[in-house]
Structure 1
Amino acid sequence: MNTLQKLAGTPIWLAVPAFAILLAIFGIPMVLLFLISLDAPTFSVANYQAFFGHGANVRVLFQTIEVSLVATTLCLIIGYPAAYLITAVSKGLRTTLVVLVVIPYLTSFLVRTYAWIVILGDRGLINNVLRDLGLISSPLQLLYTRMAVYLGMVHIMLPLMILPLVSVMLGIDKSLMAAARSMGARPFAAFWRVFLPLSLPGIRSGSLLVFVLCLGFYITPAALGGLRDAMLSTFIAAQVETSFDMARTATSAFVLLGIAVVMLVIFGLDLSGPRGRAARTSWKWVHLFGTPMRYFNEFAAYYRAKYWNASLYHAVANNRWWKISGTVFVLLTMCFLLFPSIVVIIMSFSAGEFLQFPPPGISLKWYRSFFDDPSWTGAALTSIQIGLGVTLLSTIVGTLAAYGLNRTVPRLRSFLTLVVLAPITFPSIVVGIAAYLGLLKFGLIGTKTGIALTHSLGAIAYVLVIVSATLANFDRRLEQAAMSMGAGPLWTFIRVTLPLIRPGITGGALFAFMHSFDEVVKTSLVSGVSIRTLPLKMWEDMRHEIDPTIAALASLLVLLPVVWLIALYVTWWRSRPSAQRALPEPAT
């Protein structure tokens, strides 16, 4: 009991297991990789000079930045109006739309990439429809093009743009827009001068998140693009598979990481500051680039004054056509997010011998093929075993870290949280290379333990974020009240704290399992040749042959997010009466 009381007095020590795993598998190897890239102990920039001195490397680097920028821009163009319209509907409908956005986000990105192969292939949905309509006589080259890469990346990243925007927009007082319009401002002017500045923090967060993650894309460009669409992550993976020159690989990895860090430093500062200050700071950039517009506004001031006097204090009527257009846009966005998964489910029941849409007949033979093939079932069992181990480890370690960091000073808590989030912020290929180097020192390459530790790097971060969000709304006076009635620290945690944060722990555990079950990039680097997880086997089959058995597996994985959401809701619903009984009875 004295040990527990001492530990309660220094809660930061609860985060030691999380930082131990992070340092051993990721932190120290990252430092070693950086030293290798600098040619330690001589310390020179010869490796970086060699990288930038090679024209092919520079072209791939600029192509990576270009593809990431275009994908981020497309996500913003589609995601901003979608988020705006989602926040404008009733609460019940908004919840439904958010769930429809979350389901694709939780669906395996391998499944979503595979869906676009089905849609864009020579015998895919688009080519078959055009051929049946008599518009084409031979298949169009839609797959293995830059357009296919953009479609796949935007489809995967769009939920990550919409969700931060919705979160910020829900906090904006809509009466400000109504007040501006009642005083004569046109709808676009009210939006431009009132709503947009307040939503800029969401734009910045969503765009930064999407761009940084796009920099590390490897699977989607490799599966949907051609040889001219290779990104730097693909280039690094090829180096690992062929020569594994550690100096060249480390240099390429840190060039990619450097771009991500520069973007985080420039646009990621003060994300936790006051909303108003963040909005004003971001709004200055809009005015900086909008100087010509200010001169035009001054020129048109006379005409605006006449319009102001004519429409002052008159509310603007709702436009029926705007409502119809908004409804159609939201429906098209939801179709874009959900339709590829629906196509995969339909394809999984095909009776044909190859991918073809619509399927020539209905059959369950590809499901039987999956369950009768030991290579598939063995890979599935391996993924489940590793996923359960990752879930157990990351849930315990992540919850302890969240609980300890929640009770430290804010500045230290913010810094340490950013450190823990590094594995899910940095490009996945860079984290995988660092994990390979770390596991190599422990002799864990090609083992389930090594794969589980690698997956735990990201899983711990997810658990930490979700449990920390739950603890942020936790009233610590309940703990103080329990202790004042004689309950010890352990009994207080079990009877008071745990029931109230159980939904967050459950959500974190489910996220940890799904993160492990869907991981393929880092797994491909640390699994060796003896262990094949389900995503890794799925990726290898996608690269060598498009086996329709993958459609059956993909349809099963599409149902996984639905099961996840149901389990999370049931856990939250059942926790409500527990929370009401959280306080223990007075000690006798």
Structure 2
Amino acid sequence: VSVVATATCLILAYPTAYLIVAASTRVRMVLIVLVLIPYLTSGLARTYAWVVILGGKGLINNLLLQLGLISSPLSLIYNRFAVYIGMVHIMLPVMILPLVSTMQGIDKSLMSAARSMGARPFAAFWRVFFPLSLPGVRSGSLLVFVICLGFYVTPAALGGLSDAMLSTFIEGQVENSFNVAQIATSAFILLGIAGIVLLVFGLDLSGKQGLSSQPVRRYWLGGRQPLGVLTRNVSQLTAPYRARRWMTQLNQGGGNTVSWTPAGATFVVFVMAFLLFPELVVITMSFSGGAFLEFPPSGFSLQWYRSFFDDPSWIAALATSLQIGIAVTIVSTIVGTLAAYGLSRTFPRVRGVLTMFILTPITFPVIVVGVAIYLALLKLGLIGTNVGVVLAHSIGSIAFVVVVVSATLANFDRRLEQAAKSMRAGPLQTFTRVTLPLIRPGIVGASVLAFLHSFDEVVVTSLVNGFSIYTLPLKMWQNIRNQIDPTIAAVASLLTLLPVLWLIVLYVTFWRSRPGRQRSLSNPLT
């Protein structure tokens, strides 16, 4: 399942990222935001959206029945097909974002140079652009594959009994028999698979591996093989035409070598619809005025939202999630910021090793991390306590904070600190008056990611809650498994709108930070 989901994500994400990078600046920013919204949206809410769409009385079956194309509902859910759709929908942004980041760093003049030397568009792409984009392909594929190994919620909600993955088996062992030997062995198998894959494919991300295959491919096409002889003969026959074509395109290489076509625009629209349509369906259905969820709604009503706010159990779960999320945000932001600051001051080799260990909770399968946290908290007697849940969530949130703050510190000019110290500022004063104000936008963005990570956590929470602490995602997950309560549509719509609110907060924070950054640059100690 992980291999198929990763391959499907790569097939969809690579042309999407390629077209996003080729778009104008404004269109590119809009498309990146549209990718970020589902990426930041609760995975549980997106899984529930596919339950509503693919169910026996879901959107697709109801539409086909009304059109008279089928006489009975199709089996679109509780099978492998539904698992693939749900996993690809959740992991596609994780594949797109690294590809976009890598492709934006590729010098477009290299493509122009290839075109000016007579290379056709596909040849310039295949021989120049694609090898340079292999680091993004490698990192995105590794990240998607390893995360898919530990998927639990989506296969359990959309798959059948024959589609149970190893993570489902581990969670069942924790809840039912509690066989520590089987739990540890199963988790170690997943850990070993993830470790081997990262060891084999994740060591060199510089792109040299992607270029190393070029001499082999050239020899196979032009060496002693019969196909190579045929290729050279055809090339000699078409040499005059290619020479004339090269002269006409000689002075056209400086422009934009990539442009959108109707087919490309249609493909991007399809991918964006695939990412956003399920969330829009859930939001629309949450305002249904009928006794059951329906799309389109027969009437407009806020009954499911009133049902949510009038139910003490839902409100208690929401309050628990907010309390834990705020505590996790405070702890992980402080620890992660200090860790990132310390890493930026260490030697590169030591920094790489330490960063690898810090990022382990978000690079290894989440079920493996959850089992390790469960066994550790069990020894400490913190299972079923708020402190235990906060510590469990903070382990992953700290990794997100380190990633974001480290990226901010990478662009930080340390000469400003040296200037402050030369004016007799102490280390603490320099950090609080110079460094901290300049990296504040990165810290705010990191704290947002830390809160979202805690607020959306289900797998680790289900292991360490001790059947006594129920967060909002955990209560929502139990309702999905036991009964399809229409109130869940209101909860899912609120979780879907939450990332939009956070993106607005981040935009305002970064926008307001510009004047402050300019003032700090002009006078570091004021």
Q: Normalising by structure 1, report the TM-score.
A: 0.85
Secondary structure at the residue paired with 2:520? coil
Query: Are the equivalent residues in 2 in contact too, given 1:482–1:583 (CA < 8 A)?
Result: no
Query: Are the equivalent residues in 2 in contact too, given 1:183–1:311 (CA < 8 A)?
Result: no
In 2, Cα distance between equivalents of 1:570 and 1:375: 34
Alignment of structure 1 residues 453-464 onto 2, 5 Å: 453-464=391-402
- 2:63 corresponds in structure 1 to 129
After superposition, the Cα gap between the structure-2 partners of 1:71 and 1:586, relative to the gap in structure 1 and judged at 3 Å, is closer
After superposition, the Cα gap between the structure-2 partners of 1:376 and 1:194, relative to the gap in structure 1 and judged at 3 Å, is same
Query: Are the equivalent residues in 1 in contact too, given 2:22–2:258 (CA < 8 A)?
Result: no
1:41-89, Cα deviation, whole Å (9 max, x unpaired)? xxxxxxxxxxxxxxxxxxxxxxxxxx10100000000000000000001
Matched, 1:261 2:195: yes
Alignment of structure 1 residues 279-428 onto 2, 5 Å: 279-285=207-213, 295=225, 296-305=227-236, 306-307=238-239, 308-315=242-249, 323-428=261-366
Matched, 1:579 2:517: yes
Aligned positions, number? 516
In 2, Cα distance between equivalents of 1:587 and 1:338: 46
Secondary structure at the residue paired with 1:122? coil
Q: Which amino acid counterpart does residue 409 of structure 1 have in structure 2?
A: F
Secondary structure at the residue paired with 1:581? helix
After superposition, the Cα gap between the structure-2 partners of 1:440 and 1:335, relative to the gap in structure 1 and judged at 3 Å, is same
- 1:39 corresponds in structure 2 to none
Q: CA deviation at 1:145?
A: 1.3
Matched, 1:439 2:377: yes
Deviates more, 1:159-168 or 1:350-359: 350-359
In 2, Cα distance between equivalents of 1:529 and 1:289: 58
Matched, 1:554 2:492: yes
After superposition, the Cα gap between the structure-2 partners of 1:391 and 1:322, relative to the gap in structure 1 and judged at 3 Å, is closer
Q: CA deviation at 1:359?
A: 2.5
In 2, Cα distance between equivalents of 1:322 and 1:168: 19
1:257-316, Cα deviation, whole Å (9 max, x unpaired)? 100000000011023xxxxxx323223357768976565455312323425324223338
Matched, 1:487 2:425: yes
Secondary structure at the residue paired with 2:484? coil
Matched, 1:514 2:456: no
Alignment of structure 1 residues 40-59 onto 2, 5 Å: none
In 1, Cα distance between equivalents of 2:114 and 2:233: 19
- 1:4 corresponds in structure 2 to none
- 2:443 corresponds in structure 1 to 505
In 2, Cα distance between equivalents of 1:458 and 1:369: 33
Alignment of structure 1 residues 156-195 onto 2, 5 Å: 156-195=90-129
- 1:3 corresponds in structure 2 to none
1:145 equivalent among 74, 79, 89: 79
Query: Are the equivalent residues in 2 in contact too, given 1:183–1:314 (CA < 8 A)?
Result: no
Secondary structure at the residue paired with 1:357? coil
Q: Which amino acid counterpart does residue 518 of structure 1 have in structure 2?
A: D
In 1, Cα distance between equivalents of 2:257 and 2:377: 61
Query: Are the equivalent residues in 2 in contact too, given 1:184–1:314 (CA < 8 A)?
Result: no
In 1, Cα distance between equivalents of 2:316 and 2:285: 24
2:158 equivalent among 192, 201, 224: 224
Query: Are the equivalent residues in 2 in contact too, given 1:236–1:252 (CA < 8 A)?
Result: yes
In 2, Cα distance between equivalents of 1:267 and 1:233: 23
- 1:567 corresponds in structure 2 to 505
Q: Which amino acid counterpart does residue 522 of structure 1 have in structure 2?
A: V
Q: Which amino acid counterpart does residue 234 of structure 1 have in structure 2?
A: T
After superposition, the Cα gap between the structure-2 partners of 1:297 and 1:529, relative to the gap in structure 1 and judged at 3 Å, is same
In 2, Cα distance between equivalents of 1:181 and 1:101: 31
Q: CA deviation at 1:525?
A: 0.2
Query: Are the equivalent residues in 2 in contact too, given 1:75–1:154 (CA < 8 A)?
Result: yes
In 1, Cα distance between equivalents of 2:217 and 2:148: 26
After superposition, the Cα gap between the structure-2 partners of 1:584 and 1:165, relative to the gap in structure 1 and judged at 3 Å, is closer
Q: Which amino acid counterpart does residue 158 of structure 1 have in structure 2?
A: L
Query: Are the equivalent residues in 2 in contact too, given 1:123–1:357 (CA < 8 A)?
Result: no
Matched, 1:240 2:240: no
Q: Which amino acid counterpart does residue 344 of structure 1 have in structure 2?
A: V
After superposition, the Cα gap between the structure-2 partners of 1:75 and 1:298, relative to the gap in structure 1 and judged at 3 Å, is farther
Q: Which amino acid counterpart does residue 407 of structure 2 have in structure 1?
A: A
In 1, Cα distance between equivalents of 2:469 and 2:217: 53
In 1, Cα distance between equivalents of 2:116 and 2:289: 61
In 2, Cα distance between equivalents of 1:113 and 1:396: 32
Query: Are the equivalent residues in 2 in contact too, given 1:517–1:535 (CA < 8 A)?
Result: yes
Matched, 1:106 2:60: no
Alignment of structure 1 residues 51-70 onto 2, 5 Å: 67-70=1-4
Q: CA deviation at 1:322?
A: 6.4
Q: CA deviation at 1:96?
A: 0.7
In 1, Cα distance between equivalents of 2:55 and 2:5: 21
Please list every run of 5 or more consecutive structure 2 residues that lacks an aligned counterpart in the other structure. none
Q: CA deviation at 1:587?
A: 8.3
Query: Are the equivalent residues in 1 in contact too, given 2:434–2:524 (CA < 8 A)?
Result: no
Q: Which amino acid counterpart does residue 283 of structure 1 have in structure 2?
A: L
Query: Are the equivalent residues in 2 in contact too, given 1:399–1:464 (CA < 8 A)?
Result: yes
Matched, 1:541 2:479: yes
After superposition, the Cα gap between the structure-2 partners of 1:320 and 1:504, relative to the gap in structure 1 and judged at 3 Å, is closer
| RMSD across aligned positions (CA) | 2.1
Query: Are the equivalent residues in 1 in contact too, given 2:34–2:272 (CA < 8 A)?
Result: yes
Please list every run of 5 or more consecutive structure 1 residues that lacks an aligned counterpart in the other structure. 1-66, 272-277
Q: CA deviation at 1:235?
A: 1.2
Query: Are the equivalent residues in 1 in contact too, given 2:383–2:466 (CA < 8 A)?
Result: yes
Secondary structure at the residue paired with 1:313? helix
In 2, Cα distance between equivalents of 1:583 and 1:175: 33
Q: Which amino acid counterpart does residue 503 of structure 1 have in structure 2?
A: P
Query: Are the equivalent residues in 1 in contact too, given 2:320–2:471 (CA < 8 A)?
Result: yes
Query: Are the equivalent residues in 2 in contact too, given 1:394–1:460 (CA < 8 A)?
Result: yes
Q: CA deviation at 1:495?
A: 1.3
Matched, 1:205 2:139: yes
Secondary structure at the residue paired with 1:494? helix
In 2, Cα distance between equivalents of 1:106 and 1:285: 37
Q: Percent identity?
A: 66
